[in-house]
Amino acid sequence: MTLSGGAPIEPINIGQLSIQYLIDGTATGGMGVFELTVAPGSQVPPPHSHTHNEECVYVLEGILRYSVDGVVRDLVPGEWMFTPRGSVHHFSNPHNGTARALIVLTPDIGAQYFRDVGTIVSAGGPVDPSKLIDVMSRYGLVPAPPPQ
C-alpha cells in the first residue's frame, strides 16, 4: 500500500484547458489522476489513442462531450466513460458553461507530457503539427487518422 500527500502540482494550462494533477503516477508506474477544466467552446485535443494506457473520465461540473470509438455522449456530473487502450477518443465542450472532470489514467502518462504539449501550444503562432506528433509519440499517444 502506498499513501502519499504533499503539495499539489502547479496547474498546467494548455490553450483552453487547465490540468491540475492530483496523483502523478509516473514515479511508481501506477495510476494517475488529474482534474481537467475545459472552457466553453473548446475543441481540443485532437482525436487520439493510447498504446499503453487506459483512461476514464468522470464529470464533476458542466457538460463534457466525450467520444470513444465513434460513440459520442454529452456527459453531465456523475456520469463517466471508459476508454480502453488503443481506442480513439476525443473530448470537447461545445456548451456555454465550463466543464470539469476527473481523469484517471492507468498507467499514468504523467504531468510532464502536458507540460511538453503546453510548451508547443504556447510558443506563439500556429501549432507545429510535427512537433506535437513527436511529443505525443514519445508518450505513447497516436493521433487518429483523418475521417474518410
Residue 37 structural domain: 12-142
CATH code, domain carrying 103: 2.60.120.10
Domain for residue 125, yes or no?
yes
DSSP string, the chain: ------PPPPPEEETTEEEEEEE-GGGTT--EEEEEEE-TTB--S-SEEESS-EEEEEEEES-EEEEETTEEEEE-TT-EEEE-TT--EEEEB-SSS-EEEEEEEES---HHHHHHHHHHHTTSSS--HHHHHHHHHHTTEEEPPPP-
Give the model's pLDDT for residue 1.
Answer: 45
Is residue 148 domain-resident?
A: no
pLDDT of residue 119: 94
pLDDT means over runs of 10, the chain (148 residues): 63 94 85 96 90 97 97 98 97 97 96 94 89 95 87
Residue 7 lies in a domain: no
pLDDT at position 5 is: 62
